[in-house]
Amino acid sequence: MPRPTTPLAAFAGGNALFERAVTAVGLNEAFSRRVLSEVFGSIGSSPMEASADELGLLLPEVERRMLLALPFETAAPAMARLRRMLLAWVE
Protein backbone atom coordinates (compact mmCIF):
# COMPACT_ATOMS: atom_id res chain seq x y z
CA MET A 1 0.00 0.00 0.00
CA PRO A 2 1.50 3.36 -0.98
CA ARG A 3 2.25 5.76 1.85
CA PRO A 4 1.57 9.49 1.55
CA THR A 5 4.72 11.52 1.25
CA THR A 6 5.60 15.10 2.01
CA PRO A 7 6.90 16.96 -1.03
CA LEU A 8 10.50 18.14 -0.82
CA ALA A 9 9.29 21.70 -1.38
CA ALA A 10 7.84 21.59 2.14
CA PHE A 11 11.38 21.35 3.48
CA ALA A 12 12.85 24.06 1.25
CA GLY A 13 12.04 27.09 3.36
CA GLY A 14 9.57 28.94 5.46
CA ASN A 15 8.72 32.28 6.95
CA ALA A 16 11.00 34.16 9.35
CA LEU A 17 9.66 32.37 12.43
CA PHE A 18 10.18 28.95 10.89
CA GLU A 19 13.71 29.77 9.75
CA ARG A 20 14.60 31.17 13.18
CA ALA A 21 13.17 28.05 14.85
CA VAL A 22 15.28 25.79 12.61
CA THR A 23 18.37 27.79 13.56
CA ALA A 24 17.46 27.90 17.27
CA VAL A 25 17.18 24.12 17.51
CA GLY A 26 20.89 24.00 16.71
CA LEU A 27 20.90 20.45 15.35
CA ASN A 28 21.29 19.13 11.82
CA GLU A 29 19.40 21.58 9.61
CA ALA A 30 17.71 18.91 7.48
CA PHE A 31 16.53 17.05 10.59
CA SER A 32 15.21 20.25 12.20
CA ARG A 33 13.39 21.31 9.03
CA ARG A 34 11.81 17.90 8.63
CA VAL A 35 10.59 17.64 12.22
CA LEU A 36 9.21 21.18 12.30
CA SER A 37 7.64 20.90 8.82
CA GLU A 38 5.92 17.62 9.67
CA VAL A 39 4.63 18.96 12.98
CA PHE A 40 3.19 22.08 11.34
CA GLY A 41 1.72 19.88 8.62
CA SER A 42 -0.01 17.75 11.25
CA ILE A 43 -2.31 20.69 12.05
CA GLY A 44 -2.78 21.77 8.45
CA SER A 45 -0.22 24.56 8.54
CA SER A 46 3.05 24.89 6.66
CA PRO A 47 6.49 26.44 7.15
CA MET A 48 5.40 29.48 5.14
CA GLU A 49 2.29 29.97 7.33
CA ALA A 50 3.84 29.15 10.72
CA SER A 51 2.84 31.39 13.61
CA ALA A 52 4.24 31.80 17.10
CA ASP A 53 0.93 30.64 18.59
CA GLU A 54 1.00 27.45 16.53
CA LEU A 55 4.61 26.75 17.44
CA GLY A 56 3.82 27.25 21.12
CA LEU A 57 0.97 24.76 20.94
CA LEU A 58 3.12 22.29 19.03
CA LEU A 59 6.15 22.32 21.35
CA PRO A 60 5.12 19.09 23.15
CA GLU A 61 4.80 17.27 19.81
CA VAL A 62 8.14 18.64 18.58
CA GLU A 63 9.74 17.39 21.80
CA ARG A 64 8.07 13.99 21.50
CA ARG A 65 9.35 13.53 17.97
CA MET A 66 12.85 14.68 18.85
CA LEU A 67 12.98 12.22 21.74
CA LEU A 68 12.03 9.40 19.37
CA ALA A 69 15.09 10.15 17.24
CA LEU A 70 17.61 11.58 19.69
CA PRO A 71 18.91 10.83 23.16
CA PHE A 72 17.55 13.04 25.95
CA GLU A 73 20.98 14.67 26.40
CA THR A 74 20.77 16.02 22.85
CA ALA A 75 17.04 16.76 22.62
CA ALA A 76 16.65 18.62 25.93
CA PRO A 77 19.10 21.46 25.14
CA ALA A 78 17.66 21.76 21.62
CA MET A 79 14.15 22.13 23.02
CA ALA A 80 15.38 24.66 25.59
CA ARG A 81 16.87 26.77 22.78
CA LEU A 82 13.62 26.52 20.81
CA ARG A 83 11.53 27.59 23.81
CA ARG A 84 13.90 30.49 24.54
CA MET A 85 13.67 31.65 20.93
CA LEU A 86 9.88 31.47 21.01
CA LEU A 87 9.62 33.45 24.26
CA ALA A 88 11.84 36.18 22.79
CA TRP A 89 10.03 36.23 19.41
CA VAL A 90 8.61 39.62 18.39
CA GLU A 91 6.65 39.89 15.14
What DSSP assignment string belongs to 38-51? HHHHTTT--TTT--
**2 within some domain:** no
What local confidence, expressed as pLDDT, does residue 13 receive? Answer: 83
The 10s digit of each residue's pLDDT in 49-70 is 999 999 999 999 999 999 999 9
Give the pLDDT confidence of 2-18 residue by residue, as tens digits. 666 655 545 568 999 99
Burial of 67 per CB tally in 10 Å (0-12, 13-18, 19+): middle
The whole-number pLDDT of residue 84 equals 97
pLDDT tens readout for residues 21-48 = 999 999 999 999 999 999 999 999 999 9
Question: What is the count of structural domains for the chain?
Answer: 1
Is 1 within a domain? no
Residue numbers of the domain that contains 74 = 14-88
